[in-house]
Structure 1
Amino acid sequence: MAPPRDYRVLIPIDVLGGESVPRTIVDAFASVPVVLLGYREIPDQTGTDQARDQYAPRMRSELDDVQRTFEDAGCLDVSTRLVFTHDRLETFERVAVETDCDGVLLVNPAPVLESVLVAIRSDVNLEYIAQLLAALVADTDLEVTFFHVVSDEDDRDRGTELLDDATEELIEHGIDRDRVDTVLSVDGSPTREILDVASEYDLLVVGESRPSIRRFIFRDRAKKLARKTVDPVLVIRGEYLEVEDGDESTDPEDGGGDS
């Protein structure tokens, strides 16, 4: 088993757009370090300095309130960033890399948070996914279900083996077996099947298997998942991501502007 480490989650929040973090999410994620990214997506013709002058004080106040909520819930490591951007997706990706975040949480309403569906596409980063999950759910009562879709009956055994491996990885990292379940779907559209099954759970977790959060969340299968599910969606990054050449840095305290 890999040595324990701190796993960090990026939570983008459009605070001026009325987006908030449900209390159930706050309580569930209080066990891991989080980076709260208060962002404002602005038109191309609007300069970031102009937007900062207009919106920054109000955004900072709103973001500070969210930070205090996490701290009151017992989160010992919560930091914030404030950005104005012409491309929120690039910002999410870059800030996740810059702040060493292992996952990106897309916030949706979560009146109840008791069950987690983890959609597994392959064995890529399976141990890494299990480690982060274990860190997240260890101090909660959350139940975890691993889910996988295979194309036909010929792949059933392979799919079952993959789910068994995922279960064993999570157990190896300290989660009781009776909190872990598996579901295998045969001969279906992966996206449709995940959406159908996710409706029965409170949080959807997907693992990234491409070297880009932006492509995976918003231009691939998880784009559809994130937009069509009403649940919060946690995308666990691949460990191999690098900052792309030409990326600009953001002021970690207050207001770095993205352009």
Structure 2
Amino acid sequence: MAEPRDHRVLVPIDVLEGESVPAAIVDAFASIPVVLLGYRELPDQTAPDQAREQYGDRVRAELEELRTVFEDAGCDVTTRRAFTHDRLQTFERVAVDESCDAVLLLNPAPVVETALVALRSDVNVEHIARLLATVLTDTDLELTLFHVASDETGRDEGEELLDAARSELATAGVDADRIDSRVVVEDSPTAAILEAASDHDLLVAGESRPSIRRFVFRDRAERLARRTIDPVLVIRGEYLESQRDDATGNGETDG
């Protein structure tokens, strides 16, 4: 078995809009440390300091309630608050600051029993497998590894990719009986993933580029999150950007 490594998941929550974390998500992610980010995206004319003064105590109180829920489930929890003009930039900054391996985009989740893991390439497959193994600890969650080939000539390559992912999951300690795999040929990967995700409770998308904001949330993963009814777990690459955007008022956060 591969050596264990620490993992952490960022969970952004717009608490002022009444967004909450479904109980099924709390149970599914109880085995992995989480960072709860209570955020509010502000109009351009509203200064973050003004919003922090007006809403800060309310956001803090909501986060403390959520912290208690996760801690009661046995989870290690950190909380952050953010009042920002660019929520995606803030998600990225906090993910870097808190060394988060993944970002969970919330959607309603009555149950979390099956997860669709959409893989596009072999980039970071080992990292993705180890993180998923951590999430699966103390759960009965089952996985379907999924790849979309653009034509029939890519089917064999897709099968090899999923076989490699299955092997990495087994190395990380995941029982083979909990893993299924499927390759489809489709012109539209997004449509194929959405169709397959409709039969699952959680969608997992691996990131193969370093920037959540530039390459993931504003690309396929964000479209998936907007169009699926499932929660979406975006697993970051096994690198964390060190560059910061220090523009005043464009994503200020506090603990």
> Where on the TM-score scale, by shorter chain, does this alignment land: which range?
over 0.9
Distance 1:252 1:56, change over 3 A: closer
How many residues align? The count is 252
Is the CA contact 1:104–1:235 (under 8 Å) kept in the aligned structure 2? yes
Cα deviation digits, residues 115-169 of structure 1 (max 9, x gap): 0000000000000000000000021000011000111111111111111111111
SS at match of 1:74: coil
Deviation at 1:244, TM superposition (A): 2.1
Structure 2 residue runs of 5 or longer lacking an equivalent are none
Report the AA paired with residue 36 of structure 1: L
Cα deviation digits, residues 168-220 of structure 1 (max 9, x gap): 11011111100000011013311100000000000000000111101233221
User: 1:38-53 maps to which residues of 2 (within 5 A)?
Assistant: 38-53=38-53
Deviation at 1:252, TM superposition (A): 4.2
SS at match of 1:46: coil
State the distance in 2 between where 1:35 and 1:70 align: 11
Is the CA contact 1:153–1:187 (under 8 Å) kept in the aligned structure 2? no
Give the structure 2 partner of residue 137 of structure 1.
136
Deviation at 1:54, TM superposition (A): 0.6
Report the AA paired with residue 19 of structure 1: E
State the distance in 1 between where 2:151 and 2:237 align: 28
Structure 1 residue runs of 5 or longer lacking an equivalent are 254-259
Is the CA contact 1:9–1:105 (under 8 Å) kept in the aligned structure 2? yes
Give the structure 1 partner of residue 198 of structure 2.
199
Is the CA contact 2:128–2:206 (under 8 Å) kept in the aligned structure 1? yes
Task: Report the aligned-residue RMSD.
Answer: 1.3
Give the structure 1 partner of residue 241 of structure 2.
242
Report the AA paired with residue 62 of structure 1: E
User: 1:50-129 maps to which residues of 2 (within 5 A)?
Assistant: 50-75=50-75, 77-129=76-128
SS at match of 2:59: helix
Give the TM-score taking structure 2 as reference length. Answer: 0.95
Report the AA paired with residue 64 of structure 2: D
Give the structure 2 partner of residue 256 of structure 1.
none
Report the AA paired with residue 40 of structure 2: R
User: 1:170-181 maps to which residues of 2 (within 5 A)?
Assistant: 170-181=169-180
Report the AA paired with residue 84 of structure 1: F
Give the structure 1 partner of residue 18 of structure 2.
18
SS at match of 2:45: coil
State the distance in 2 between where 1:13 and 1:216 align: 21
State the distance in 1 between where 2:154 and 2:214 align: 27
Q: Which moved more, 1:3-12 or 1:217-226?
A: 217-226
Report the AA paired with residue 131 of structure 1: R
Give the structure 2 partner of residue 257 of structure 1.
none
